[in-house]
């Protein structure tokens, strides 16, 4: 599971949970990542910084899941269980 994607989906499900600064940090951290699919993760995180780019965020999320074969519902389930703090803590603090 990509922590930057997890962060963005959590942000979508819980608007107002993260500050603009935390969204910026997530985008910068995603950009600095060299893991597989880092470019797509950065595109998702970058567009998620601004609510006006909601359609672009949805587009990049769709591309991310199409390319990686990961399941978006797995991310949503993880968020709903409330056990994402460990993965997102270093991004937003």
pLDDT per residue as tens digits for the range 22-51: 998 988 888 887 676 778 888 888 888 888
The pair of three-digit structure tokens given for residue 80, joined into one six-digit string: 């709903």
The alpha helices in 2-93, defined as continuous H runs, are: 3-13, 20-32, 38-47, 54-68, 72-81, 85-92
pLDDT reported for residue 53: 84
Instruction: Please determine, for residue 91, whether its predicted confidence score (pLDDT) is greater than 80.
Output: no
Reported pTM: 0.80
Do 57 and 8 touch, CB atoms closer than 8 A? Answer: yes
Helix 3-13 vs helix 54-68: crossing angle, to nearest 10: 140
Phi-psi region of 42 (alpha: psi -120 to 50; beta: other; left: phi over 0): alpha
């Amino acid at each position: 599971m990509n922590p930057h994607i997890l962060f963005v989906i959590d942000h979508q499900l819980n608007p107002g949970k993260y500050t603009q600064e935390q969204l910026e940090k997530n985008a910068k951290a995603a950009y600095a990542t060299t893991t597989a699919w880092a470019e797509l993760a950065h595109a998702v995180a970058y567009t998620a910084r601004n609510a006006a780019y909601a359609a672009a965020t949805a587009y990049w999320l769709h591309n991310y899941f199409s390319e990686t074969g990961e399941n978006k519902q797995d991310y949503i389930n993880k968020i709903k269980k409330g056990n994402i703090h460990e993965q997102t803590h270093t991004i937003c603090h």
